[in-house]
Structure 1
Amino acid sequence: MTEEDLRPSPDRVPRRVHSERLLVPGWWWVVLVAVTGLVAAVAFTLGAPWWLWLLTVVVPALFAWLFVTVGRERIEVESDGQGGGTLYAGRARLPFEAISRSAVVPATAKQAAMGRQLDPEAFVVHRGYVPTMVIVVLDDPLDPTPYWLVSTRDPEGLAAALPDNHYS
């Protein structure tokens, strides 16, 4: 085989068909700035000691770091258009060959899916501030993971990007 035979054909090159970042809601940032401003105003009015000023800087910086870190999670689907592809959820990846089916978990069913119905061996990428999820059922006898449960703001789009989807 030549090197040319090993290259994927142009029609088999994976393309991103779904991509999203699970950013924290914008109002969290607004509340952080408002509370920081209020605390700074009170500290200035009361002639606060240096350590209170330090808290006025350090605590909001820690919350900002937390917001950025938590909101870093990405959900992506790459497809070659011919049945092959990969689901990426954070650092984990799942090839299409291992997917049996997928379904939308609406906001009304999220509590049950994450609570009493959750299989302890399931792979979960959950963000509490994202109201909907998608369940991806696996069909891999070598993998003890029965399904993936993934937070997404566009459940219909994510389920449609996956193979053999039966979403509700």
Structure 2
Amino acid sequence: MQLSTTPYEERLTAPRSWWFVSFLVGVSFALILLPFGTLPMLGGLVGGTAAAAVVASSYGSVRIRVVGDSLIAGEAKIPVAALGEAEVLDPEEARAWRTYKADNRAFLLLRAYIPTALRVEVTDPQDPTPYLYLSTREPERLAEALRAARETAA
């Protein structure tokens, strides 16, 4: 396996509004604990905000990378030799592939707050997965990185 510099890396971070919602969760905990006094209220504010922020951060920490001859999407690691053509999906087409066009055998790295995606065919006959659906903010760049990695591996 040839390792080169990473031609593509993206972290699917949660949107800024989720951090505000994390603060609102803390405010909710503070209001619940208000009858018990000032210290429990402050503890609820800090603890609730921190817990919600950890959840938002972990959900938004998933990465998509093309390293050497592999695509790493979340926990999945797929050799680019097992992948076929990549199709860039605009927001409407991405929504269609998330809903009524979806195949329940497909691998979905789905983040609903990212409107665009890349659909990549799986060509390995031993793999029952028909395609990968990858939410990405830069689908053209990811498709090009996969194309370049496939050419390098060949």
Cα-Cα RMSD: 2.4
Superposed CA deviations along residues 138-166 of structure 1, whole A, max 9, x for unmatched, are: 111111001110111111100111128xx
Query: Using the alignment, how far apart are the partners of 1:37 and 1:111 within structure 2?
Result: 32
**Number of equivalent positions:** 144
Q: Does the Cα contact within 8 Å between 2:26 and 2:47 map onto a contact in 1? A: no
Partner of 2:67: 78
Partner of 2:152: none
Between the two proteins, what is the percent identity of the paired residues? 33
User: Superposition pairs for residues 13-92 of structure 1, below 5 Å?
Assistant: 13-33=3-23, 35=24, 48-50=35-37, 51-79=40-68, 85-92=69-76
Higher helix share: 2
TM-score by length of 2: 0.81
Partner of 1:104: 88
Larger Rg: 1
Query: Using the alignment, how far apart are the partners of 2:55 and 2:26 within structure 1?
Result: 19
Query: Using the alignment, how far apart are the partners of 2:8 and 2:130 within structure 1?
Result: 23
Distance 1:49 1:153, change over 3 A: same
| Alpha-carbon distance, 1:53 to partner | 4.1
Unaligned segments of structure 2, at least 5 residues: 149-154
Q: Which amino acid aligns with 2:146?
A: L
TM-score by length of 1: 0.75
Farther off after superposition, 107-116 or 132-141: 107-116
Q: Does the Cα contact within 8 Å between 2:122 and 2:129 map onto a contact in 1? A: yes
